A and B are shown apart, each in its own frame.
Chain A
Amino acid sequence: MITQLLFRALDKKAIWLVVALVVIAIAIPFANLVIPEGNPLHIPNYAVPLFGKYLNYAMLALALDLVWGYCGILSLGHAAFFALGAYAMGMYLMRQIGARGVYANPVLPDFMVFLNYHDLPWFWHGFDQWWFAFAMVVLVPGALAFAFGWFAFRSRVTGVYLSIITQAMTYALLLAFFRNDLGLGGNNGLTDFKDILGFNVQAATTRAALFAISALALALAVVICSAIVNSKLGKVMVAVRDAESRTRFLGWRPENVKLFAFVVSAVLAGIAGALYTPQVGIINPGEFDPANSIEAVIWVAVGGRGTIVGPIIGAVLVNAGKSIFTGAFPDWWLYCLGGLFIFVTLFMPKGIVGLFNNLRSRKVTQASAAAEAGEDPSTLPQTRPSPEPAE
């Protein structure tokens, strides 16, 4: 059954995407490590974790697309799952420092010595084992998403209300993680990492390996998401997105479908976060900022929601733009980002991918274009003539 699922998952687009990601996973480390400096194809050391970061963001965007693009849940708190995964990884990396910290305490991380802790808080136990930490990367965001989704979807909280409460959730976590007495580093977060699985985090080879892992993890996420959306469950998800009440009346359980999508999405976001921490070298509560979550939404919107490749393109493009703009014209970045929000929602509701599809379908005959639009899962109820009075 699983092989059948995988076969269906790997439709033509997904296969090309996975192939492209595997090529990137090999090519960039190769260009960084093997091609000598001075060669125009050489990629400098600083760029590798930067590109890795883009791929992690792309994975977050893909996770968000699974719930927003396919299931109609606009989560404005997905950065929270990303940050929780990142913190779980950060805690593992902190424990790996051992006695090499500034205070040379073999058990307690530096900030705990600084804050006069005598014992390790209970939730820090086990994070010295990689398998435990990696399990937590998956379990913590998953559990939070499950608990949150269980209550939210069962109470039939939908639309903007759900968006607002997800935003409230990440904001609450932001405030909690800013507190020093939570035992997670307060506003400084976790940093000064040394080793991951025995390899030096700073070394070029480790970073290249982390990049390759990020690319492969993204490829895996593409396979998973593609499998889900191409399955029967994926069809039900789209049905829930487009007409939740009708789906319910047809005998499906929209809350269970949504909960499944939400938990899978949170787990993917957590893994993306876990890969993000060692490459960036710091994790602090700023990652919980609701603005980050909303920015992630715009990546999806720019790329094209309701598609697998869209969020990846969107995340990479917007973040590359951010890197360039914040370096060259720091004052103009917020104008660009804000303008992008407005422009995309007004003029590009299907994003870049939708734009390409439109161009292509214009070349094809009218009839086949109509057929394609009918199959396109990203058709949304956008043409309602007048707003519904809010209840």
Chain B
Amino acid sequence: MATRILSLIALLLAMVVAPLPALAQDDFAAQVNALGPGSFADRTKAMAALVATGDERVPPILLALSDGTLYMRKSDDKVVIAAKAGSDFALTDPVDGADLGTVPSSDIEKIKSNNGLRGKIRTAIGQMTLLSPDRPTRLSAAQSILKNADPAMLELLDQALAAESDPGIKSTMELARAVIVLKTEGALEDKRAAVQTVVSHNDRAAQNVLINSLAEAPDELKPTIQSGINSIGSTLAVWDVGRNLLYGISLSSVLLLAAIGLAITFGVMGVINMAHGEMVMLGAYTTYVTQLVIQAVAPGLMEYSLAFAVPAAFLFTALVGVGIERGIIRWLYGRPLETLLATWGLSLVLQQLVRSIFGPTNKLVQPPSWMSGTFDLWNLSFTWNRLWIIVFAIAVFIALQIILNRTPLGLQMRAVTQNRRMASAMGIRTPFVDAMTFGLGSGIAGMAGVALSQIDNV
């Protein structure tokens, strides 16, 4: 109980002290210089005093001490940071960063540290950074405390929590505090509150915290923790379903593109194209080649390489498709089984061709910056490329609908699908429609390849 009161007082004191402005310049310099003389014990004391100032200049000094680049100038016992410059040392003032000239090594004396001191320095730097005005510094410090959950940090964390204004960092700190409370000996009520704090975070990290603390927790607390784990688990399950759904939709939209192409050729021509997958492959490799070309010709346009790759892939695979139709499939109409075999043979040739040209290894297609990275939706992080792929698939789908329903070619295609002979009798050039259909189907597969190259390697 006594220790609790003491720590409470210390906490109160700390809260009062923390917001105070940094000590005057001279006092600070004096405190830095106190690191120089005396034994390790003296140095530890001097360090603690420095840390207590909460000055942002302290962590670099302590780091220098830990790294062994902190020296004492023999002429006036001033503590300096020295960097080796030839046989001499270039000195800088740790307090204001001023250049203090170059001196021979005989003029300075190294300030020694040992492992114990280094350990304390590490802790101290963590403390300092928690209170740093720099946001990322504080965040990483909070996360490191969350990871290590050192009970010694509790006081400081409370202090930092009181001063923290950023909600994101604050929540990490709260979580870290709860973890420490759960870990240390303490009142059941505090722990229960800590569990509530953790549960309110409701994400995977929080669930892990609870799972880890379950074993050491007192028996009275175990049901609370368990129910907390379960409640987080059910929330996470819902989110997982959401994420899987998005991933599934984005992948299936690529497959949708590939399948539409196949459906068109099969629907209109009654031909199963076993080389359809190779059209997807060709589309993906076209993306890769387009990027290589743009990289060589106009590197500034790399951001927009996809704007070139999509039409390039469509045109290239459509041309290949028309070539296949005119060269092979035309001769095999009415013999679907033979078409199956011939296009299978074609797929073997295309695969080997691509392997000969590009090699068997995966090629990396660089996603443009606006497609990389993630965005957070509530508790989940999605990658932009997956969202864009869905958008792209929908766009292609709409475009295809327009082609089929609003253009003369679409009208002819539908006519041929419904009744080939009648369409032919009405003056529709069915061979031309077949070639165009095959080209369109292959072109769409090629665009699916572009989309695929954004999820995966080629």
Question: Interface residues, chain A, CB within 8 Å of chain B?
Answer: 74, 76, 159-160, 163-164, 294, 297-298, 301, 331, 334-335, 337-342, 344-346, 349, 380-382, 384-390
- B341 engages A346 (CB within 8 Å): no
Most chain A C-beta atoms within 10 Å of own C-beta, residue among B270, B348, B356: B348
- A74 engages B334 (CB within 8 Å): no
The residue on A at minimum CB distance from B421 is A386
- A160 engages B347 (CB within 8 Å): no
Chain B residue numbers with a CB within 8 Å of A294 are: 341, 344
- B345 engages A341 (CB within 8 Å): yes
Chain A residue numbers with a CB within 8 Å of B326 are: none
* A–B complex contacts, Cβ < 8 Å, 21 sampled: A74-B337, A160-B272, A160-B337, A164-B272, A297-B341, A334-B348, A334-B351, A334-B352, A338-B346, A339-B349, A346-B331, A346-B342, A380-B335, A382-B334, A384-B333, A385-B334, A386-B421, A387-B269, A387-B333, A389-B270, A389-B418
How many angstroms between the C-alpha atoms of A387 and B424 in the bound complex? 12
| Min C-beta distance of B419 to chain A, whole Å | 7
How many angstroms between the C-alpha atoms of A388 and B328 in the bound complex? 18
B338 in the interface, Cβ–Cβ < 8 Å?
yes
B332 in the interface, Cβ–Cβ < 8 Å?
yes
Given B337, B345, B418, which contacts A342 in the complex, CB threshold below 8 Å? B345
> Given A386-B333, A386-B334, A386-B424, do A337 and B341 touch, yes or no (CB 8 Å)?
no
- B348 engages A384 (CB within 8 Å): no
Chain A residue numbers with a CB within 8 Å of B420 are: 386-389
How many angstroms between the C-alpha atoms of A164 and B336 in the bound complex? 12
Question: Interface residues, chain B, CB within 8 Å of chain A?
Answer: 266-267, 269-272, 328, 331-342, 344-353, 356, 416-421, 424, 430
| Min C-beta distance of A382 to chain B, whole Å | 6
- A339 engages B337 (CB within 8 Å): no
- Contacts A298-B345, A338-B349 aside, 20 further interface pairs with beta carbons under 8 A come to A160-B340, A163-B340, A294-B344, A331-B352, A335-B352, A338-B346, A339-B349, A341-B344, A341-B346, A342-B346, A342-B349, A345-B339, A349-B338, A381-B334, A385-B334, A386-B424, A387-B269, A387-B270, A387-B334, A387-B420
How many angstroms between the C-alpha atoms of A390 and B331 in the bound complex? 18
- B333 engages A342 (CB within 8 Å): no
Chain A residue numbers with a CB within 8 Å of B337 are: 74, 159-160, 163
- A342 engages B334 (CB within 8 Å): no
How many angstroms between the C-alpha atoms of A380 and B338 in the bound complex? 12
How many angstroms between the C-alpha atoms of A240 and B421 in the bound complex? 26
How many angstroms between the C-alpha atoms of A317 and B388 in the bound complex? 51
How many angstroms between the C-alpha atoms of A76 and B338 in the bound complex? 12
| Min C-beta distance of A388 to chain B, whole Å | 6
The majority secondary structure among interface residues of chain B is: helix
- A339 engages B270 (CB within 8 Å): no
> Given A382-B335, A389-B270, do A338 and B356 touch, yes or no (CB 8 Å)?
no
| Min C-beta distance of A194 to chain B, whole Å | 37
- A338 engages B417 (CB within 8 Å): no
Chain A residue numbers with a CB within 8 Å of B344 are: 294, 341
- A160 engages B336 (CB within 8 Å): yes
| Min C-beta distance of B348 to chain A, whole Å | 3
> Given A342-B328, A345-B338, do A337 and B270 touch, yes or no (CB 8 Å)?
no
Chain B residue numbers with a CB within 8 Å of A387 are: 269-271, 333-334, 420
> Given A160-B337, A345-B341, A387-B334, do A334 and B349 touch, yes or no (CB 8 Å)?
yes
- B332 engages A345 (CB within 8 Å): yes
The residue on A at minimum CB distance from B274 is A294
Chain A residue numbers with a CB within 8 Å of B266 are: 390
Chain A residue numbers with a CB within 8 Å of B328 are: 342, 346
- A335 engages B349 (CB within 8 Å): yes
How many angstroms between the C-alpha atoms of A385 and B346 in the bound complex? 24
Closest 10 CB pairs of A and B: A341-B345, A338-B348, A338-B349, A334-B352, A390-B270, A384-B334, A387-B333, A338-B345, A345-B342, A345-B338
- B340 engages A74 (CB within 8 Å): yes
How many angstroms between the C-alpha atoms of A380 and B420 in the bound complex? 22
Chain A residue numbers with a CB within 8 Å of B269 are: 387, 390
The residue on B at minimum CB distance from A347 is B331
- B336 engages A342 (CB within 8 Å): no
- B345 engages A337 (CB within 8 Å): yes
Chain B residue numbers with a CB within 8 Å of A381 are: 334
How many angstroms between the C-alpha atoms of A163 and B340 in the bound complex? 9
How many angstroms between the C-alpha atoms of A334 and B345 in the bound complex? 9
How many angstroms between the C-alpha atoms of A258 and B302 in the bound complex? 58
Chain B residue numbers with a CB within 8 Å of A346 are: 328, 331-332, 342
How many angstroms between the C-alpha atoms of A160 and B266 in the bound complex? 11
Given A159, A340, A341, A386, which contacts B336 in the complex, CB threshold below 8 Å? A159
- B271 engages A338 (CB within 8 Å): no
Chain B residue numbers with a CB within 8 Å of A74 are: 337, 340
How many angstroms between the C-alpha atoms of A339 and B421 in the bound complex? 32
- B335 engages A386 (CB within 8 Å): no
How many angstroms between the C-alpha atoms of A384 and B338 in the bound complex? 14
How many angstroms between the C-alpha atoms of A387 and B346 in the bound complex? 21
- B270 engages A342 (CB within 8 Å): no
> Given A335-B349, A386-B333, do A341 and B342 touch, yes or no (CB 8 Å)?
yes
Chain B residue numbers with a CB within 8 Å of A344 are: 341
Chain B residue numbers with a CB within 8 Å of A76 are: 340
Most chain B C-beta atoms within 10 Å of own C-beta, residue among A159, A384, A387: A387
Chain B residue numbers with a CB within 8 Å of A386 are: 333-334, 420-421, 424, 430
How many angstroms between the C-alpha atoms of A381 and B337 in the bound complex? 12
Chain A residue numbers with a CB within 8 Å of B349 are: 334-335, 338-339, 342
Chain A residue numbers with a CB within 8 Å of B347 are: 338
How many angstroms between the C-alpha atoms of A338 and B275 in the bound complex? 11
The residue on B at minimum CB distance from A380 is B335
| Min C-beta distance of A240 to chain B, whole Å | 15
Chain B residue numbers with a CB within 8 Å of A382 are: 334-335
| Min C-beta distance of B43 to chain A, whole Å | 58
How many angstroms between the C-alpha atoms of A159 and B272 in the bound complex? 11
Chain B residue numbers with a CB within 8 Å of A340 are: 345
How many angstroms between the C-alpha atoms of A335 and B350 in the bound complex? 8
| Min C-beta distance of B334 to chain A, whole Å | 4
How many angstroms between the C-alpha atoms of A340 and B351 in the bound complex? 15
Chain A residue numbers with a CB within 8 Å of B417 are: 389
| Min C-beta distance of A386 to chain B, whole Å | 6
The residue on B at minimum CB distance from A384 is B334
| Min C-beta distance of B309 to chain A, whole Å | 27
The residue on A at minimum CB distance from B345 is A341
Chain A residue numbers with a CB within 8 Å of B421 are: 386
How many angstroms between the C-alpha atoms of A337 and B350 in the bound complex? 12
| Min C-beta distance of B441 to chain A, whole Å | 14
Chain B residue numbers with a CB within 8 Å of A349 are: 338
The residue on B at minimum CB distance from A334 is B352
How many angstroms between the C-alpha atoms of A345 and B346 in the bound complex? 12
How many angstroms between the C-alpha atoms of A338 and B348 in the bound complex? 5
- B348 engages A337 (CB within 8 Å): yes
How many angstroms between the C-alpha atoms of A344 and B347 in the bound complex? 15
| Min C-beta distance of B364 to chain A, whole Å | 24
Chain A residue numbers with a CB within 8 Å of B416 are: 389
The residue on B at minimum CB distance from A341 is B345
Chain B residue numbers with a CB within 8 Å of A160 are: 272, 336-337, 340
| Min C-beta distance of A142 to chain B, whole Å | 25
